[in-house]
Structure 1
Amino acid sequence: MAGAIGPSRFLRGFTLHDVETPEVRLRAAVGGSGPPLLLLHGHPQTHSTWNKVAPALAERFTVVAADLRGYGDSGRPEGGEGHRNYSKRAMAADQVALMRALGFERFRLVGHDRGGRVAHRLALDHPQALEKLAVLDIAPTATMYARTDKEFATRYFWWFFLIQPAPLPEHMIGADPEFFLRKHIDGQLKTPGATSEELFAEYLRCYRDPAMRHAACEDYRAAATIDLEHDAADAERRIEAPLLALWGAKGTVGALYDVLETWREKARDVRGQPLPCGHSPQEEVPEDTLRALLDFL
């Protein structure tokens, strides 16, 4: 069941919906008309990260910008045995159920950061649902862990901090969530002011919730455990949908990886390019991001 709850504060012309899926209630902003397009955010953002690009995309598509389970205003289930409730398999199934509840069996998908990792698993588990896939500023999870070195561990320290057993990271972040969140975002984005203070306050509103901080840690714990098991089992499979990779020329992913090469190991039809930004193209260089997405989508 999907219920409209009012206009979106950050996505102009969009309506917020709460959608009950088989396992969790999801919050999504829906706007526009045309072929369906799902947008998935990363950590520590929410669906509001798409505020600079979603209205323009909605001129051509029916855009659904969703909060991943555990994030934003979506439900926050317990992690479960082996962190399985935050596996990308579970999170991908949520999004397929969300789109079906909204009347869409098949759709295009753009995923940033954690949302891109959910999208990768969705492409493997639900290929019939996916027409095209764009991933923003990530290399595949298994690849990044397999190639970990001092440089990567230093730049992406939270990959190794957040996976520590509960409640260590949750408790430490809880001592000053605003400090951690600001340092995290400022360290990843290379365009000063790209995240407005109003948008930062929205992220902080969610991040102040201990259940959301725990969910984020469970997301990363799953990535380092059960997600790697799923990836290993599917090591020989390839994404069938056309894939676009965009990444920040000033960020860690672009500096440490041949991004297109990493995705050509995982997908059959890959194209992409760097953009003049850090980790969050949709916030830092929205016009460049829009141009690349529309050309592809």
Structure 2
Amino acid sequence: MTFKKSEAAPAGLPGDQGEVGPVFRVKDVIRPLASNIRGGSVLIGFASDEGVRRNFGRVGASQGPSAIRRALERLPVHHPVEIVEAGDIACTDGDLSGAQERLADAVATLLDRDMRPVILGGGHEVAYGSFLGLAKHLSGRLATTNILVVNLDAHFDLRLAPVPNSGTPFRQIAEFCSAHGTAFNYLCLGISELSNTTALFERARQLGVEYRLDEEMRPTDSAELRARLAQKLMAADTVYLSIDLDVLPASVAPGVSAPAASGVALEIIEDLVDDVISSGKLALSDIAELNPVLDRDDQTARVAARLAYRLLLGRGRKSIIR
């Protein structure tokens, strides 16, 4: 097995010194985006919590991308691979729409180069920029492409509000789809009945949203849930996957603006992510709502890094039992 290092520093971490055999970690296989690179997975950050602030949430998500990267870079890599780093789009002046447009332009450019972006948020306002990037990439093919939007989230994020925020992105996507003659095909998994108002459930019904409540996503529901997701994936042409970390129990993901009292188990979320990847139709994904200010011993950052690793490299090794 041969690895290609991307930097001059020694491979692995200080604790790996003296080890026999490969000790490569994610930090050792990351290289910066260059004009000649095409294909493969690419990291890009959206350092924003402007949407969370506007939504009266607890700010700090703008530090999410750097915290996820720090946790991700320490994870071991078990086969030769390269990960491309495209840097951050930041919202520092309160101009959320402008930052989302910049993210969309960057995402569209990466998709045009046959790359699969994994976008690290940031508040869930990242979702509108992510989808706009896919729409710009598809351009004239948008109306004829069956896009499946899969959101793993405790919230619909379909709010009406005076200004766009972290609770409005999928309503904005619905309006964009309507204005551009394409279907709004939205599947939201992990919805908490106690985290969404009656108005939001009614809006979801009006928009034809399919959803699954968190209490209907227990281990006993897993087989039926995954079979239903497989049907949706089979019918789609391309998939955009968004993961809001507040879909997970607060004991697993405490470092979010709105921790879940119940939530969906991490192993179920990982299975769903694996199923989306295995479909071969995943165009891009994002991970939203990590707030390092509220995290406990980097626990949520580590969970986010684990999910990002999966999106970048796949599931990896299988167990050996003798």
Same-fold status (TM-score > 0.5): no
Scaled by the length of structure 1, the TM-score of the pair is 0.39
What TM-score do the two structures reach when normalised by structure 2? 0.37
Between structure 1 and structure 2, the one with the greater Rg is 2
